[in-house]
């Protein structure tokens, strides 16, 4: 985990006042290396905490965030590059549902299902306008009455599910 965090915050050092702890910027062109190194560090961390539930949950949360932030977004980017409308719709659906599943972990908040949905997926508006599930009403979502993709969820991914997703992510990313 030290190696994972060092990528973003630099080497371990004496704790300084909060304003002095600025993460170093990832240099342009290094994004893929950082993504791969992060994946490998989290893979190793998961192995080291296997059978230690308290530590496992923390590593799984980081893997959930990685899956959401890097893998699901890459799937949408790949579908968009291929100009494959069904894959774009599926990728938006998958990212939205997974985001809803993370809400009870406090890693994400309601915004992605409400106004954040249009901000995040605005460039796909023409494609998504044909999909009823993408047209959920703000009021229903905010009051947890929406169903479908943008409805609230209670099913936070389990450790077993994260193991399966991580294996699938490894294959998708080619790591």
- Where in the chain are the domains? 2-173
The Cα-based distances of 152 to 7, 45, 108, 149 in angstroms read: 34, 30, 12, 9
Which residues have C-beta within 8 Å of that of residue 54, sequence separation ≥ 6? none
Q: Any idea which residue has 């490894």 for tokens?
A: 170
Q: Give residue 50's Cα distance to chain centre.
A: 22
Instruction: Give the pLDDT mean for 94-122.
Output: 84
Per-residue pLDDT tens over the stretch 56-91: 999 999 999 999 999 999 999 999 999 999 999 999
Q: Is 154 exposed, middle or buried (0-12, 13-18, 19+ CB in 10 A)?
A: exposed
Among residues 175, 164, 171, 169, the alpha carbon closest in space to that of 72 is found at 169
Q: Is pLDDT at 119 greater than 70 in this prediction?
A: yes
Q: Are 150 and 141 in contact (CB under 8 A)?
A: yes
Q: Is pLDDT at 97 greater than 80 in this prediction?
A: yes
pLDDT for the residue numbered 27: 77
Q: Is pLDDT at 39 greater than 80 in this prediction?
A: yes
Instruction: Give the pLDDT mean for 120-145.
Output: 81
The better pLDDT of the pair 38, 24 is held by 38
Q: Any idea which residue has 């959930």 for tokens?
A: 64
Q: Any idea which residue has 């100009």 for tokens?
A: 83
* Secondary element (H or E) of residue 45: helix 31-48
pTM exceeding 0.75: yes
9 falls in which pLDDT band (50, 70, 90)? low
Q: Are 165 and 157 in contact (CB under 8 A)?
A: yes
Per-residue pLDDT tens over the stretch 17-35: 555 555 566 778 888 898 9
Instruction: Give the pLDDT mean for 95-116.
Output: 82
């Amino acid at each position: 985990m030290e190696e994972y965090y060092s990528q973003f915050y630099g080497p371990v050092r004496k704790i300084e006042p909060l304003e002095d702890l600025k993460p170093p910027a990832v240099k342009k062109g290094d994004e893929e290396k950082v993504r791969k190194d992060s994946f490998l560090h989290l893979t190793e961390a998961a192995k080291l905490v296997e059978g230690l539930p308290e530590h496992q949950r923390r590593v799984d949360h980081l893997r959930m965030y990685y899956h959401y932030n890097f893998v699901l977004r890459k799937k949408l980017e790949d579908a968009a590059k291929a100009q494959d409308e069904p894959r774009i719709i599926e990728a938006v659906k998958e990212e939205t549902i997974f985001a809803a599943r993370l809400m009870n972990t406090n890693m994400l908040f309601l915004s992605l299902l409400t106004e954040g949905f249009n901000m995040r997926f605005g460039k796909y508006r023409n494609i998504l306008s044909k999909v009823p599930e993408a047209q959920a009403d703000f009021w229903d979502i905010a009051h947890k009455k929406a169903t479908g993709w943008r409805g609230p969820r209670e099913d936070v991914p389990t450790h077993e599910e994260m193991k399966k997703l991580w294996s699938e992510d490894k294959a998708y990313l080619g790591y």
